[in-house]
Amino acid sequence: MRASATLLLSLILLAACSQAPVQPVPAPAAPPLPAHPLVKIETNLGDMVVQLDTARAPLTVAEFLQHAQAHKYDNTSFYRIVPGFVIQAGDFSADYQPLPEEKSIPNESGNGLSNLRGTIALAREADPHTGSYVFYLNLVDNHKLDPRPDRWGYAVFGQVVEGLDVMDKIAASPTHHLVTSHQDEFTDAPVTPVTIEKVVVLPAEAPAQP
C-alpha cells in the first residue's frame, strides 16, 4: 500500500513538473556603443573618416551605424551638391533609384553640437521628427540649421576627421538639373555621379596597455 502511494505521489509530481511554465532565457544585452565610433565613407573621389558622437546623439548614431552595418549606404551617392552649403546622401542609389523608406527617429538637434564645417548631420523633412538615414556634410558653418528657441534644428552627430579635401573635391563637382525616371527632380545633381561605394564601421581601438 505504501509503495502504491509513493508511486502515485511520484506520478503527480512528474505531471506537475511537466506542466510548469518554462521561463525564457533572456537575450544577452547588446554591447554599449563606443563613445566615438569611426566610420569610413568610401567614394569614387576618395575616402573620408567620420567620428561619431554617441554621448551627444545616441539615437542618431545608433541608427546610422545600423544602416552602415546593413550595407544600406553601399552603392548609393552624394546626389545633392550645393557649393557653400552641403553635400547630401543616403536615400538614392548611384543611378538615382529611391531606396526603401525607414522608420524615423526623434530629433536630437538640441544636443549642443552645431552645424559647423565638416560635421555630419541628419537630413529630414519639414516635420522635425522625420529624420532616419539621409545625411549631409556641412561645407561651411551653417548656424542657420541649428535649433533656436522657436524651432527645431538639424541634428549633428559627428564630424569628418580625415578627408576634408575629399569633401571639398565632391563639393566642386559640376552640377545640373535632373529629372529621374521616377519623376524626382534635382536642381543640384552632379553631372558625373559621386558614388558612395561603401560605408565601413572601423574597428574600435584597443585600450592602451599599462
Q: Classify each residue of 85-122 as buried b or exposed e, where b means 16 or more C-beta atoms within 10 Å of its C-beta.
A: bbbbbbbbbbebeeeeebebbebbbebebbbeebbbbb
Cα–Cα distance between 80 and 78 in angstroms, integer? 6
Neighbours of 39 (CB within 10 A): 21
Task: Give kind and range of the element (H or E) at residue 7.
Answer: helix 2-19
Please determine, for residue 41, whether its predicted confidence score (pLDDT) is greater than 90. Answer: yes
What are the residue boundaries of the structural domains of the chain, listed by start? 38-201
Please determine, for residue 177, whether its predicted confidence score (pLDDT) is greater than 80. Answer: yes
Please determine, for residue 22, whether its predicted confidence score (pLDDT) is greater than 60. Answer: no
| Mean pLDDT on 43-67 | 97
Cα–Cα distance between 59 and 47 in angstroms, integer? 25
Question: Cell triple for residue 132?
Answer: 532616419
| Mean pLDDT on 79-106 | 92
| Mean pLDDT on 148-164 | 97
What pLDDT band is residue 5 in, cutting at 50, 70 and 90?
A: very low
| Mean pLDDT on 132-160 | 97
pLDDT at residue 30 in the model: 58
Cα–Cα distance between 143 and 119 in angstroms, integer? 12
The tens digit of pLDDT for each residue in 113-124 reads 999 999 999 999
Cα–Cα distance between 101 and 14 in angstroms, integer? 53
Indicate the class that CATH gives domain 38-201: mainly beta
191 strand-pairing partners: none
What pLDDT band is residue 165 in, cutting at 50, 70 and 90?
A: very high
Question: Cell triple for residue 189?
Answer: 545633381
Place of cell 556603443: 33
Query: CA of 114: how far to CAs of 42, 78, 105, 118, 163, in Å?
Result: 25, 22, 19, 11, 20
Better-predicted residue by pLDDT, 105 or 31 = 105
Query: CA of 57: how far to CAs of 87, 97, 148, in Å?
Result: 21, 29, 18
